[in-house]
Amino acid sequence: MEELVSLRGIIKHFPGVIANDNVSFTLRKGEIHALLGENGAGKTTLMNILYGLYRPDIGEIYVEGRKVEINSPKDAITLGIGMVHQNFKLIPSHTVLENIILGLKKSGLVIKSRKIGEEIKKLAESYGWRINPNAYVWQLTAGEKQQVELLKILYRDAKILILDEPTSVLTPQECRILLQALRRMAKEGKGIIFITHKLDEVFAISDRVTVMRKGRVLVTKETSETNMSELAQYMVGRPVIFTIEKKESRPSGEAITIKNLKAFNDKGVLALKDVNLKVMKNEIVGIIGVTGNGQQELVEVIAGLRKASGGSLIVDGVNIINSSPEKIIELGIAYIPPEPLRYGIAPNLTVLDNLFMKAYRYKPYSNGVIVNWKKIYNKAEELIREFQIVPENPYAKARSLSGGNLQRLILARELSGLIGEKIPRLIVAAYPTKGLDVGATEFVHKTLIEYSRKGSGILFVSEDIEEALMISDRVAVMHDGKIVRVFRPGEVDIDKIGLMMAGVEIAFK
Amino acid sequence: MAKTIIMPHSVKIKRRLHISRKLSILTTFSTLVLAFGVSGIFFAMIGLNPLDVYSYMVGVYTSPTLLLKALERAIPIGLAALGLSIAFRMNFWNIGAEGQMYMGMFASTGIVLLHAYYDLIPDYLVLLLMILASFVTGGLWCGLPAFLKAKMRVNEILTTLMMNYVAMYFVDFLIYGPWRDPKGYGFPLSIPFPEYAKLTMIFGEFAYSGLLLLCIAVALAVVILRYTKLGFELKIVGEGIDIARYAGIRITKVITLGGILSGGIAGLGGLAIVSGIIGRLRPRASPGYGYTAIIVILLSALNPWLVVPVSIFFGGIFVAGDILQATLKIPGAAVEMHQALIFLFIVVGEFLKRYKITITREVVR
Q: Is the pLDDT of residue A1 over 70?
A: no
The verdict on residue A394 lying in a domain is yes
A164 and A281 co-located in one domain: no
- Count of CB contacts below 8 A, A vs B? 60
Q: What crossing angle do the helices spanning B332-354 and B21-45 adopt, rounded to 10°?
A: 150
Asked if residue A225 and residue A94 are part of one domain, the reply reads yes
Q: Which among A304, A343, A358 has the least Cβ separation from residue B242?
A: A343
Calpha distance A387→A390 (Å, rounded): 9
Identify whether B178 is preceded by a cis peptide bond (ω within 30 of 0).
no
Identity of the residue in A349, A353, A369 whose CB atom sits nearest the CB atom of B229: A369
CA–CA distance, A320 with A304 (Å, rounded to integer): 9
> Cβ of B243 and A353 within 8 Å?
no
Structural domain includes residue B269: yes
By a Cβ cutoff of 8 Å, what residues of chain A touch chain B? 69, 71, 303-305, 324-326, 328-329, 335, 337, 342-346, 348-349, 353, 357-358, 360-361, 366, 368-371, 373
Q: Is the pLDDT of residue B26 over 90?
A: no
Does residue A108 share a domain with residue A210? yes
User: SS3 of A300, please?
Assistant: helix
Instruction: For residues B172 and A140, give the distance between their C-alpha atoms in angstroms, rounded to a whole number.
Output: 48
The CA-CA-CA angle for residues A382, A383, A384, to 5°, reads 95
- The alpha carbon of residue A503 and the mean position of all alpha carbons in its chain are separated, in whole angstroms, by 17
Q: What is the dihedral of CA B291, B297, B299, B304, to 10 degrees?
A: 150
Percent of chain B residues topping a pLDDT of 70: 94
Q: Flag whether A327 is in a domain.
A: yes
In chain A, how many domains are there?
A: 3
pLDDT band at B12 (very low <50, low <70, confident <90, very high): low
Q: Which chain A residues are Cβ-neighbours of B228 within 8 angstroms?
A: 369-371
Q: Is residue A99 part of a domain?
A: yes
A345 in a structural domain: no
Co-location of A232 and A377 in the same domain: no
Q: How far is CA A111 from CA A96, A131, A346, B245, in A?
A: 14, 19, 47, 47
Quick one: A262 and A380 in the same domain? no
The dihedrals phi and psi of B265, each to the nearest 5 degrees, come to -65, -40
Q: Is residue B213 part of a domain?
A: yes
CA distance A502 to A296: 17
| Cβ separation B229–A344 shorter than 8 A | no
Closest-CA residue of B relative to A348 is B239
Q: Judge whether residue A505 has pLDDT over 80.
A: no
Structurally, chain B folds into a number of domains equal to: 1
Contact (Cβ atoms closer than 8 angstroms) between residue A374 and residue A380? no
Interchain CB distance below 8 Å, B228 and A370 = yes
> Is A358's CB within 8 Å of B235's CB?
no
**Averaged pLDDT for residues B41-65:** 90
Nearest by CB to B232, from A326, A342, A371: name it: A371
The CA-based diameter of chain B, rounded to the nearest angstrom, is: 95
- Candidates B220, B225, B227, B229: best to mutate against A (most CBs of A within 10 A) is B229
The reply to whether residue B239 touches residue A349, judged by beta carbons under 8 angstroms, is: yes
- Higher per-residue confidence, A74 vs B214: B214
Closest Cα in chain A, distance from residue B232 (Å)? 8
- A155 and A27 belong to one structural domain: yes
- Do the domain assignments include residue B156? yes
- B112-145 per-position pLDDT tens digit: 999 999 988 999 999 999 999 999 999 999 999 9
Question: With an 8 Å Cβ cutoff, are A353 and B232 in contact?
Answer: yes
For residue B108, being part of any structural domain is answered with yes
Give which of A418, A435, A298, A274 is closest to A359, Cα–Cα.
A418
Give the relative orientation of helices B50-62 and B21-45 as an angle to the nearest 10 degrees: 130
| Cα–Cα distances in angstroms (integers) from residue A308 to residues A274, A299, A479, in the given order | 11, 11, 18
CA angle B152, B155, B159 (to 5 degrees): 105
In this predicted structure, the answer to whether residue A108 has a pLDDT above a threshold of 70 is: no
Is A346's CB within 8 Å of B243's CB? yes
- Residue closest to A479 by CA, chosen among A298, A292, A310, A302: A292
**Nearest in space to B101 (alpha carbons), one of B126, B70, B75, B127:** B75
Asked if A414 and A444 sit in the same domain, the reply is no
From chain B, the residues in CB contact with A357 under 8 A are: 236, 243, 247
Cis preceding-peptide flag for B50 (omega within 30 of 0): no
Q: Do B250 and A326 touch (CB under 8 A)?
A: yes
Using CB atoms, which residue from A325, A353, A373 is nearest to B246? A325
Is A495 among the domain residues? yes
Strands A426-430 and A333-336: parallel
- Render B140-168 in DSSP notation, one character per residue: HHHHHHHHHHHHH---HHHHHHHHHHHHH
Q: Do A343 and B250 touch (CB under 8 A)?
A: no
Q: What is the pLDDT of residues A363-375, one digit of tens each?
A: 889 998 999 999 9
- Given a cut of 80, whether residue B14 has pLDDT beyond it is no
Q: Is the CB of B246 less than 8 angstroms away from the CB of A303? A: yes
Q: What's the pLDDT tens digit per position in A170-197? A: 766 788 889 999 999 999 999 999 998 7
> What's the confidence (pLDDT) of residue B338?
82
Q: Count CB-CB contacts under 10 A for residue A122.
A: 9
A171 in the same domain as A66:
yes
Closest residue in B to A324 (Cα) is: B248
| Same domain as A130, residue A22 | yes
Whether pLDDT at A4 is above 50: yes
Residue of chain A nearest B240, judged by CA positions: A346
The whole-number pLDDT of residue B349 equals 85
Residue of B nearest to A362 (CA): B229
Length of chain A as a residue count: 509
Residue ending a domain, among A184, A201, A236, is A236
Amino acid found at B48: L
* Residue A318 pLDDT: 93
Q: State the CATH number of the domain containing residue A14.
A: 3.40.50.300
The CATH number linked to B204 is 1.10.3470
Looking at residue A165, its pLDDT comes to 85
Query: In angstroms, rounded to a whole number, what is the distance separating the alpha carbons of residues B347 and B63?
Result: 28
Closest-approach residue (CA) in chain B for A374? B227
* B79 Rama sector, left if φ>0, alpha if ψ -120 to 50, beta otherwise: alpha
Rounded Cα distance, B171 and B267, in Å: 14
Task: Name the residue among A326, A342, A373 with its Cβ closest to that of B242.
Answer: A342
* pLDDT digit string, tens, across residues B312-364: 999 998 999 889 888 888 887 887 888 788 888 888 888 888 887 777 665 54
pLDDT in tens, B150-196: 999 999 999 999 999 999 999 999 999 999 999 888 899 999 999 99
Q: Are residue A223 and residue A300 in the same domain, yes or no?
A: no
Handedness of CA A190, A191, A197, A198 (dihedral sign): positive
Do A460 and A388 fall into the same domain?
no
Mean pLDDT, chain A, rounded, equals 87
DSSP H stretches of helix in A68-141:
73-78, 96-101, 113-126
Residue A42: which of A18, A62, A61 has the closest Cα? A18
A467-495 pLDDT tens trace:
898 899 999 999 989 999 999 988 888 77
Chain B residues bordering chain A (beta-carbon distance below 8 Å): 2, 5, 227-229, 231-232, 235-236, 239-240, 242-243, 245-250, 364
Cα-flanking dihedrals φ and ψ of residue A101, to 5°?
A: -90, -5
**Residue B208: is it exposed, middle or buried by C-beta count within 10 angstroms (0-12/13-18/19+)?**
middle
A289 and A167 in one domain? Answer: no
Whole domain around residue A228: which residue ranges?
A: 3-236
Distance of CA B185 to the CA centre of its chain: 33
Residue A242 confidence (pLDDT) above 50 = no
ipTM value, please give it: 0.84
**Closest Cα to residue A337, out of A414, A269, A272?**
A414
Contacts of B232 (CB under 8 A, 6+ apart): A353, A360, A371
Q: Does any domain span residue B254? A: yes
Chain B residue with CA closest to A343: the answer is B243
What is the structure's pLDDT at B7? 55
Q: Binning pLDDT at 50, 70 and 90, where does residue A107 land?
A: low
